Every structure is written in C-alpha cells, then in structure tokens.
Structure 1
C-alpha cells in the first residue's frame, strides 16, 4: 500500500513520460534535444498551478542523472542555499529546482547566483506569477529561457488517468477498479487543465466509492457531486485568482450585472474575502468615482459588514454594492487626473510654490517674501460660495489642466462648475 499521494507517485521520471507540453518538451523541440544530448540549461518555468512545472523539473533531473535538489523559496533559508553550493563543489554540478522562485530574497540570491553563472549549479525555477513582473532581474538574466507552460488539454489528462489506472508500480494497476472511459473523460474535462487536481480527484473518488466483491465501483452520481464541488474552487494565490478579480472589475466597469455576480460568486467560493472586499473598494473610486461619489461610502459600509459577518452572510452586502456599482454612472476622471499630475511630477522639475501660498504663521515670514494670499470666502460668487482669481500652481505649470471632467451622473454638475470657474480666470468681478 502506498503512503504518498497519487499525484506525487505519478510524476514522470524522464522527459519521455511528460504529459502534454509538446511545444516545450516534445521530441522535435530544442530543449528536448539539448537534454537528451546531456546539456541542461537554467530555466524559468511559468504557468498556472497543476500544469506540470514540478513534474517537468523532476523529469529533466531523471533524464540528465544530475544530482538533484528541490527547494521552495518561501521556506528555504540561507543555510539551505549554502548546502546546495557545498553539494555543487563536491559533485561538480547540481540541478536545483526552486519552486515559488519569485519569493527568492536578496541574501539567497547573493549566495547562489555566482554559482549559477559559473554553471556549477543549474537552476530550474518555477512560478505561477508573471516572471517579467515578479522574478528578480538578476535571476532572469541567468536563466537561458523563460518557458511558459500551457494548461493541459482534456485528451492529455485522459491519457494520464488511463496510464495511472494501468501502472502497477506507481499507480492503481493492482486495484480492481470499475470506471468507464466516459467517466474518466468527465474528470479530464472538469479539472480545468490541472494534472495534480485530476489525480487527486481520482484518488478521492475511489476512496468515496463502494466496494463490491473486491471491486471498486465508480457511480455517476458520486462523480458528478464531486465534480460540481471542485469546479467552484480555485487557487487563492495563483494567477487564476487574480484573473477572477480582474474579470470582476472589468464586468462592473462594463455595467454587466450578471457577469459581475458570476465572478463575485466564484471569488467568494474560493474564500479570499479580504482580496474581494479590497478590490470592490478600489473599484468604487477608480471606476465609479465622481459620477456617483456616494457609492464609495456605500462600499466601505458593505465591505466592513462583510468582514464582520464572514461567509456565507458576507455575500449579501457584497452582492448589493456589486449590483449598485454595475448600474451606477461611471467616471475615471479623478484617478486619471492624479496619475497625470504624478506623471508631470516625475518628468519635470518640481515647481516653486507661489509666495502667496506659503506658510505665514511665524515671525519673519514677511521678510522672506511670504504673503499676499486672498481669502476666497471673503468674495462669494453666486450660490457657489467664495472664489477669487489667483494663481495656485507653480509659475512653471500655470494654466496646466490635469482634470478632464466626464459628464456622467453627479459629475455632470461638477463639470459645469469646473468649466464655469475656468471662464472666470482673468476677470475682476466674476458673476
């Protein structure tokens, strides 16, 4: 009887056993030929969870016969890296597989990178995050290739499941299992291209199935119940999770209530309530903004209530504000304006604050030339309140406009006021 999980046992031992990924490791690819000829380059493997990054690393190690060490960057310390270096010095060359490589810290890098550069350590890093965004450039520059793995196709997973059922050494070949090709096909189609999930699902399915006369019999009803459940789940920290958050925001921005609720439901089933509430709060100001400024306060109240309530009740206030944001008037003018101001700040020398705006609440301010500010409240303009024509931006930016109003919802009124105030510039008695 095996103690290791099925997904662990069924990892390919050579590159010829790898399922799918023919664009990367197929027999006609340069990488396959290099490894077969005894040359293993340092690599970065990028892709979603469960599509074979770890399996490919182990398969490369099995084919190359190089001394192999596997570490996870989230838990590995400086001593672990030093041990890899020692092993490389003793054996001449080591193949290091580093999972979650985007979490590699500078101290670990400083210890390891010279040996990667010299070739005594061959580094295969794996990450679910975009390596161009999240992997340190020092690591990227020492890896000859960034390999993006693709989600496995149902036919790839079907072959893997069949191989597992037939394999008497590592798989389930010694078990008497009654399962149809149609049932295996449903599993292959229901795990979203994730090989690890497919094998874990098969293992759980068999554990939950009835045994009759020494046979494990898989029933359609049980299979469907389990498939329905796993289709709702995802990886809280993987790319798919961030894709869901992105899809939620873009659906709200596009005013599609049904799509927004669909993605919200998926995110809540995954269970990362903090990420969901944070994204909804950002959206209320980024996408609704001045067109419906009350929405921001509504979302603050709803997200606070959701975090206090927890699931499943949290779905109620969050669904309310999601629908409200979808159907609200929308404007991104304020955040575009601050981004434009920030851009100018970085691209141009910082302008001098006009003398009449500088602090005068101390003795000697007048000697420095500070003063001359006109108090706007003393000069009312119609029903707007106080306004006076004086310069607020630095001289080098006088007349610059960062804000471009959007005439939507409540911002229509604000846009009219903004344009009216601009028309007052240069007039002594605006009315």
Structure 2
C-alpha cells in the first residue's frame, strides 16, 4: 500500500480524466473548450462534499499548466493571500484554488480581489453552501462562472472504482485483489454519489480483508460493515440539509409517499429531530390546512412523541405523520390569505377600525364614538350559530377579499358557508 490515500492518488490529472460532471466540464461544454484554448476563467464550484470540486480544480491546473496554489479559507490568513499575490507577480499568472470560499473574510478579499479582477490570479472557489446565500457579492462578481455540481451517478462511481482497481501506478492495480462486480456495485450504492468516500471505502475494505497467498479476499460481510461505518448522509445544517427539508415538503405537497419517505430517511439519519419536526408542523398548516384541519393536531402529537422517544424510535410516529399528510386532501388557502393580507398592509392598503369594533371597556369610550356593535350570538342563523350583517373591515378596504377557498376535503363545507354568507351580504346591500 502507498502512503498517500487512494482518493488523493486518483484525482484527475487533466480535464479529460474527470469522472462525471459532463454537463459542467464535458468535451461539449463551453468551459472545456475555453480551457483547451488556454483561457481559464475565475469560477465558483458549488456542491455537496465528495462530488469533484477539488478534483476539477486540480484537473484544470493540470490541463492549463498554470502554477497551482491550494488554500482553505478556514485556515488561511492574510499572509497566505499576500504570498499568492507575490507568486502571481513573479510568474505572471497563478491558479488559486480556495476551498470553503464562503468563509473568506474582508481582509483576505481586499488583498486578493484586485489581482483576480486584473487576471493575474485565476480564482477557483469551492463551497458546499449556496453561493448566492453564503459567498460575498464581491467574490461572486469576479467569478464569471458559477457551476453547481451534481452528485455522481452510480455508473460514475462504478467506473471510478474499477479504474482504481486496475491502475497500477496511482491505484490498486499492482495488488492481487479478489473482489466481485457485485461487491463493487454495492460499494457504489453505499456511498451515495460521493467519490471520495467510495475510494476511501474501497481502500479500507482491501486493507481490512484477509490476505491469502498474496491475494486480498474481499468478503460481503466486510463490505457491509464498512458501508455502515462510513455513513453517507452529509452534514447537518449545510445547504444539502436544507435542500433535503425542501424536497421533503415538496414531495408531501405533491402527495408522493415514497419520495417523502426517502427524504425523511435522509433527514433522520442526520439526527436533527428539531429541524425535522419543526418543518413537519409547518407543512401540516401550510399545505394541508383547512382541507383536513385534524392533521395539524395529529402531526403535533407525532412530533411530541418523537421528541419524547428520541431516535431511532422517533422515525415511527414521524413516518405516520408524513404518510398521512401525503395522502390527505390539501389546501393552502389560509396560508395564502394571511400572506395576501400582510402584503396589502405593507402596500398601504389600510384604513381606520370601524367605530362599532373598537374597545368599549372603559369610561369615556362612548364620548369617543365607540360602540354600536351587534353581538352575532344573539341572532341565530339556521344550524350555523349566530350571524349579523355588519361591517368588520375598514371602509377604505371594505371590498378586500384575501381568502379564496380551495374545494378540497373538509374545506368544501367551509367554502360553501363562506359563499353563502357573502350572498347574504350582497342581498342586503
């Protein structure tokens, strides 16, 4: 075994060796053609860990033959940046790869940005966070390309693993290894599109396997143990975590139980119950709403049970809540109504509270003109309860209508009542 990790040794040396990301840097892309023609633009590479950001930077450096400097924004100081600037003055141009670029501070920016703007430094920044949220505008404005990388496909990972197994110089091709195609496929399945984890897992499996007659014998049991140990679900509170929350809500809203369970499983493997239960409660009222008002109580109970149980048992009530929301009738009418009212108020569509609705629980209120309110409970209306025809909105916005019912589930009944009461008011005006 060599001293450098397999994942490090197998980094692509040129852009033609990049595995996956063909939509970003494949031979048909503008970026590939620019690099081949000697023009390297400053760029931001955004995506989850292990999908090729660092590898692409090294491949671009290998293709361009530019002096290459790699820094990490979490550990680099102003002096490191000044050293890059000095290097650019000596060589004419350098390629700087800056990992975790969203952590770049102002002093580092001030030292570096003019040289990026002049072209003396080609900046390739990598981040796991959404650059439009977490990367400073000054950096973004100087990066002509912002590329979102995708998780590698199963076939991409299989090809990478097979290359590592057969490459005698950089990979494991100089070793005798008995590993089946099915085991390679399982490793690819178990690393969830993360190339670094896949190569690290492959190397760990080989090292941990029994060596018989100079041959490493890979057993299925060892593969499964390593998959469980490594974990494949990403970091808490990063952009990927919030993308999972978003995907869960949109899958529930779209009534896809299987997709919702998939994203719920990922979220629970991250272990952040608080974030998951908070999102589920919002969904119960935002997306199910008046179509099935009982769901709100059911989801609250499931979330409380999950908090008391803790993981892994918490998955049981939460799965039930998610399944119920997926299969329930849905309405966002109440949510849209409050947003419409807030928007109208912010636009200045307001007026004075009618006098008959103002507080009368103090001496002198009558002198201010308060009063005249009619108590609806004193006027029964069929089986509805009580209702009287009086204005509640300010006269300036009397015709405003924020609520628009959705004809679904229990809200069909509420919609009928709403329209009936509107007709009573029209008939009496």
Q: Where on the TM-score scale, by shorter chain, does this alignment land: which range?
A: 0.7 to 0.9
Question: Are residues 230 and 423 of structure 1, via their aligned partners in 2, closer, same or farther at CA, if it must alter by over 3 Å?
Answer: farther
Asked whether the 8 Å contact 2:40–2:122 carries over to 1, the reply is yes
Asked whether the 8 Å contact 2:201–2:230 carries over to 1, the reply is no
Asked whether the 8 Å contact 1:67–1:95 carries over to 2, the reply is yes
Q: Which range is displaced more, 146-155 or 50-59? A: 146-155
Asked whether the 8 Å contact 1:82–1:111 carries over to 2, the reply is no
1:209-248 residue pairs with structure 2 within 5 A? Answer: 209-223=209-223, 226=226, 229=228, 233-237=232-236, 241-242=241-242, 244-248=244-248
Alpha-carbon separation, structure 2, partners of 1:337 and 1:107? 47
Asked whether the 8 Å contact 1:85–1:121 carries over to 2, the reply is no
TM-score by structure 1 length?
0.81
User: Post-superposition shift, 1:279?
Assistant: 2.2
1:148-187 residue pairs with structure 2 within 5 A? Answer: 148-181=148-181, 183-187=183-187
Match of 1:406 in 2: 406
Asked whether the 8 Å contact 2:354–2:393 carries over to 1, the reply is no
Alpha-carbon separation, structure 2, partners of 1:397 and 1:98? 55
Q: Secondary structure at the match of 2:391?
A: coil
Return 5+ residue gaps in structure 2 as ranges: none
Asked whether the 8 Å contact 2:248–2:259 carries over to 1, the reply is yes
Return 5+ residue gaps in structure 1 as ranges: none
User: Post-superposition shift, 1:203?
Assistant: 1.7
Deviation sequence 1:386-410 (CA, Å, 0-9, x none): 5444433344422111111234343
Asked whether the 8 Å contact 1:51–1:194 carries over to 2, the reply is yes
1:66 equivalent in alignment to 2:67 = yes
User: Post-superposition shift, 1:270?
Assistant: 4.1
1:304-383 residue pairs with structure 2 within 5 A? Answer: 304-346=304-346, 348-354=347-353, 356=355, 357=357, 371-372=370-371, 374-376=373-375, 379-382=378-381
Alpha-carbon separation, structure 2, partners of 1:95 and 1:204? 33
User: Post-superposition shift, 1:256?
Assistant: 4.6
1:26-425 residue pairs with structure 2 within 5 A? Answer: 26=26, 29-36=29-36, 38-63=38-63, 64-72=65-73, 75=74, 80-81=77-78, 83-89=80-86, 91-92=88-89, 93-102=93-102, 104=104, 109=109, 112-132=112-132, 135-181=135-181, 183-188=183-188, 191-223=191-223, 226=226, 229=228, 233-237=232-236, 241-242=241-242, 244-346=244-346, 348-354=347-353, 356=355, 357=357, 371-372=370-371, 374-376=373-375, 379-382=378-381, 384-385=384-385, 387-425=387-425
Question: Are residues 58 and 359 of structure 1, via their aligned partners in 2, closer, same or farther at CA, if it must alter by over 3 Å?
Answer: farther
Asked whether the 8 Å contact 1:24–1:31 carries over to 2, the reply is yes
Deviation sequence 1:164-183 (CA, Å, 0-9, x none): 23445543344332234554
User: Post-superposition shift, 1:33?
Assistant: 4.7
Q: Secondary structure at the match of 1:391?
A: coil
Question: Are residues 424 and 381 of structure 1, via their aligned partners in 2, closer, same or farther at CA, if it must alter by over 3 Å?
Answer: farther
Asked whether the 8 Å contact 1:12–1:59 carries over to 2, the reply is yes
Alpha-carbon separation, structure 2, partners of 1:262 and 1:407? 30
Asked whether the 8 Å contact 1:336–1:403 carries over to 2, the reply is yes
Alpha-carbon separation, structure 2, partners of 1:373 and 1:113? 68
Q: Secondary structure at the match of 2:77?
A: helix
Alpha-carbon separation, structure 2, partners of 1:384 and 1:236? 52
Question: Are residues 268 and 412 of structure 1, via their aligned partners in 2, closer, same or farther at CA, if it must alter by over 3 Å?
Answer: same
Question: Are residues 354 and 103 of structure 1, via their aligned partners in 2, closer, same or farther at CA, if it must alter by over 3 Å?
Answer: farther
Asked whether the 8 Å contact 2:78–2:111 carries over to 1, the reply is yes
Asked whether the 8 Å contact 2:151–2:194 carries over to 1, the reply is yes
User: Post-superposition shift, 1:372?
Assistant: 4.2
TM-score by structure 2 length?
0.81
Asked whether the 8 Å contact 1:12–1:58 carries over to 2, the reply is yes
Q: Secondary structure at the match of 1:400?
A: coil
* RMSD after superposition: 3.7
Q: Count matched residues.
A: 422
Deviation sequence 1:286-311 (CA, Å, 0-9, x none): 12212222321222222122123211
User: Post-superposition shift, 1:56?
Assistant: 0.9
